[in-house]
Structure 1
Amino acid sequence: MKNQRRVFLKGLATASLATALPWTKCAAKEKDASPAMVPAVIGSGKMKLSFRPYELQLEHTFTVAGNSRDTTPVVLVEIQYEGHTGYGEASMPPYLGESQESVIRFLRKVKLDQFKDPFLLDDILAYVDSLDEGNRAAKACVDIALHDLIGKLVDKPLHKLWGINPANTPMTSFTIGIDTPEMVKKKTAEAARFKVLKVKLGGGNDREMIQSVRSVTDVPIYVDVNQGWSDKHQALDMVHWLAEQGTEFVEQPLPKTAVADLTWLTANSPLPIIADEAFQRLGDIAAFQGVYSGINIKLMKSTGLREAQKMITVARALDMKVMIGCMTETSCAVSAAAQLSPLVDWADLDGNLLITNDLYEGVEVIEGKLTLNDLPGIGIRKRDV
């Protein structure tokens, strides 16, 4: 059946897609680029992998429990095959433990030219995963680019290939980082077009943060503590208060290592408790049943779309809630994740909206709702910059 499906999909392939912009045309000036971080092309066969570092500039300083930043390093990827180009991206916020250097070292090991058929995703991605432990964002950028390439080869967006109804996309939250009351009010006012906000807590000013948001808007709130609380009893008191403030769930309230405390909190909480930092890959899910109410899937943790799809299936089978989120990313990775968004309970896909130098355009937010387009693959095109 798989072989028949591949033959069918290949039969739909068209050579009529517009030629992608040259890879060098959108190159932005990089700061202190080392010799190991210049654009590179790997492979002499049919599939050719190229990559380069890029630095995302945030519109506002982004503060969560534990750190602040004004930029996020990413690596942008292209896979070329028979006149088509698939785009991918690896984003490396501090807690992932990856860097542009580590991603590029990993990508230099990837030899896609040994595979003659990009539709052999199981084989290709199993090979990529076997190259080294960890490196989840590096693996994700290859996965995303391959999925984009396949969609372009058959001239269909991924959501159509997967039989997903684009009308069922959820609202996406917009993130308000930890800040002063004045800045929180300003950010909240700027986010007026969003129907739900995600508020970062855990910085010691939690009630002030929520009260500042509530002074501007009454839209529903998602709360993300980023492991910023330490006492389970104080956490439960805070969750009860948050429930009264129109909060829908609380994400990673306690350290990921505090499994017994998290199990107790989930059992007693009036709100769903969602795993984020504790949750990385498919094999983690079963152990979280009863510890958390649900999981937050991010492509940079799951190694990409292939495993993310499986995560949704397993979580549903275990009667767990599902959220799909993102790091600070361009529209490339965000649009890829958005292809799966109709299958989840909640979405936090705003990473591209927090930056000022997005190289792509893709999924849109219209009246707060994620809106997929009919572009093939992950649904993006390069901006003409």
Structure 2
Amino acid sequence: MKLTKHHLTLKLREPFTIARGSITHQKSLVVQLEHDGISGFGEVTENPYYGHTIASMEESLSKIEPLLEEYISQPPEDLWQQFRERLDGDLFALSAFDMAAHDYFARTKQLPTWKRWGLTWENVPVSSYTIGIDSIPKMIEKLNQQQGWGIYKIKLGTDRDLEIMKALRQETDAVFRVDANCGWGPQETVDNSMLLKDLGVEYIEQPLPADASVTDQEFVFENSALPVIADESCQVEEDVRRCEGRFHGINVKICKCGGLTPALSMLKSAREIGLKTMVGCMIESSIGISGAAQLLPLLDYADLDGSCLIESDPAVGVSVSQGVVNLVDGNGSGGGLKSKPQLSAS
């Protein structure tokens, strides 16, 4: 089996700002696994907040080259733990590899990835569109440029959060979701939840810092007027059980948990204990979105607008049109590159 690593630089339509900072470009690493003319693709983005660069992830991937032949005939889920140990905890690199492996294996079985998992494509949720932090007039402009979406996720964590939400509510009757990206305190969250509920907000994502105390998490869980969804507080499979009684749901990020294999397990575990399920994305191409979209039958909420936020998508695959996720005819996850960008082959 051949492993090829493609480097992408994704230019955003607009500067994208959250409580932790702002970017205009996003670097991305695409992993391609190929054998006997069949290719599978996976993607992961560089992320300074979590300490992962393109160079560090490529170095990690070099450690698994001796094991590549095992993926020719064995399902990815049977090998994931072995590869996790070999990568010494680099779950970002593993996530791209695992996504590519699921795509490749489903193609060899001549099935869409979701169907190989035994899922049924019905009653899947639509995606939200994300409005990053900016001046209020600019946030209104961003929203009005993307008319027709039924759900907007609004990034907050400023000193004018409620003012932002009141202004945006005057522009649309769509559903709002709020992501504070660890920017609020416990009492602030509870107070805001009551006002946000009246503004048509559906839930609040990760209001408290990831290292917030159990006491603070439980206080918000018990007193918030809106459901609270864990993101930074639920990164890996071991975190799911800890969210019970502290959050109403979890947002699974493929890159953080290490791929589609653990994502499947996390979503199923969350449903077993009564947590709402969501899959989010980074700013990424259609390759990453195509992989994540295979999980839609297991979700209550979806945030898969990453490729909609970039100026020019270098990939093809699953598309998201005003929230509706459109699958690609064919097998695997459906993602692929339009052309060959800068790459290194193993």
TM tier, smaller: over 0.9
- Deviation beyond 6 Å, 4+ runs, structure 1: none
Q: How many angstroms apart in 1 are the aligned matches of 2:254 and 2:241?
A: 19
Q: Residue 368 of structure 1: which of 293, 298, 323 is its match?
A: 323
Q: Residue 56 of structure 1: which of 10, 32, 43 is its match?
A: 10
What is the deviation of 1:288?
A: 1.4
Q: Residue 302 of structure 1: which of 257, 260, 265 is its match?
A: 257
Residues 208 and 359 of structure 1: CA distance in aligned 2, closer, same or farther (over 3 Å): same
- Alpha-carbon deviations, 1:351-377, whole Å to 9, x = none? 111112322122222453222232211
3-state SS of the aligned residue for 2:162?
A: helix
Decide whether the 8 Å contact of 2:75 with 2:105 is kept in 1.
Answer: no
2:223 equivalent to 1:268: yes
What is the deviation of 1:202?
A: 0.3
- Alpha-carbon deviations, 1:173-225, whole Å to 9, x = none? 00000001111111101121211000000022201221232121110011000
Give the number of aligned pairs. Answer: 338
Q: Cα RMSD between the aligned structures?
A: 1.6
Amino acid at match of 2:115: K
3-state SS of the aligned residue for 2:232?
A: coil
Gaps of 5+ in 1: 1-46
1:204 aligned partner:
159
Decide whether the 8 Å contact of 2:125 with 2:301 is kept in 1.
Answer: yes
Decide whether the 8 Å contact of 1:64 with 1:203 is kept in 2.
Answer: no
Decide whether the 8 Å contact of 2:41 with 2:336 is kept in 1.
Answer: no
1:236 aligned partner:
190
Q: How many angstroms apart in 1 are the aligned matches of 2:228 and 2:144?
A: 27
Q: Residue 166 of structure 1: which of 121, 143, 154 is its match?
A: 121
Decide whether the 8 Å contact of 1:322 with 1:346 is kept in 2.
Answer: yes
2:99 equivalent to 1:144: yes
What is the deviation of 1:164?
A: 2.4
Decide whether the 8 Å contact of 2:83 with 2:94 is kept in 1.
Answer: yes
2:27 aligned partner:
73
What is the deviation of 1:167?
A: 3.3
Decide whether the 8 Å contact of 2:253 with 2:281 is kept in 1.
Answer: yes
**Higher RCO (CA 8 Å, separation ≥ 6 residues):** 2
- Structure 1-normalised TM-score? 0.84
What is the deviation of 1:384?
A: 5.3
Give the stretch that moved more between structures: 190-199 or 373-382: 373-382
What is the deviation of 1:340?
A: 0.7
Q: Which has the larger radius of gyration?
A: 1
Decide whether the 8 Å contact of 2:278 with 2:300 is kept in 1.
Answer: yes
Q: Residue 190 of structure 1: which of 138, 145, 155 is its match?
A: 145
Give the stretch that moved more between structures: 58-67 or 206-215: 206-215
User: What percent of counterpart residues are identical?
Assistant: 36
- Alpha-carbon deviations, 1:87-133, whole Å to 9, x = none? 11111233222111110110111123442634332443222201233
Gaps of 5+ in 2: 341-346
Decide whether the 8 Å contact of 1:93 with 1:327 is kept in 2.
Answer: no
How do 1:1-385 and structure 2 match up within 5 A?
Answer: 47-111=1-65, 112-115=67-70, 117-230=72-185, 232-258=186-212, 259-383=214-338
3-state SS of the aligned residue for 2:149?
A: coil
